[in-house]
Structure 1
């Protein structure tokens, strides 16, 4: 078998790896530069999310009509831009 030197090495490795991970990933500067920008890409901001969810059928229909109107307006704007760029 390995002997006492191997056991000391394994024990020190078992202690070092979690402490090193804690020091590296627990740094507030690393969190600000790495995690927060990724979170901004992953989740939409609060102004882009709907905080008031309709609870009745009329509210749901109004919300669907609003979403469809926005989609149609964006599509018309995109097509107009494509026609301008094609000319």
Structure 2
């Protein structure tokens, strides 16, 4: 079918294509594929408490935050129930009139 030149070309492609891919992806990786500032700096990252006092302080902070969110949620639920009760009372007044 093909001549000698075709076979030489195919052999060259078979050999050079993987080498070219490895060269492209293997050189200058830091500048080509790195995302700048991807990892947070140590001062921005969460610090795991190691000492007993730090652990207790962190637990207190988490407990206070959880209670704050709970109180806010309960207040919102109470407000929603109050609005529903007012809407039902308004509907009853409208139906009686």
Q: TM-score, normalised by structure 1?
A: 0.55
Distance 1:10 1:26 in 2: 28
CA positional deviation for 1:77: 1.2
Distance 2:73 2:47 in 1: 29
Distance 2:19 2:9 in 1: 15
How many residue pairs align between the two structures?
Answer: 72
1:17-74: CA deviations, max 9, x gaps? 1232246844358522xxx34x34xxx8524325xx75xxxxx321221121111111
In our comparison, the structure showing a higher alpha carbon Rg is 2
Unaligned runs of 5+ in 2: 1-6, 80-97
Q: Which runs of 4+ in 1 moved over 6 A?
A: none
Is residue 70 from structure 1 mapped to residue 61 from structure 2 by the alignment? yes
SS at match of 2:13: helix
Q: Which among 18, 27, 37 is matched to residue 22 of structure 2?
A: 18
SS at match of 1:31: coil
More helix per residue: 1 or 2?
A: 1
Distance 1:10 1:83 in 2: 69
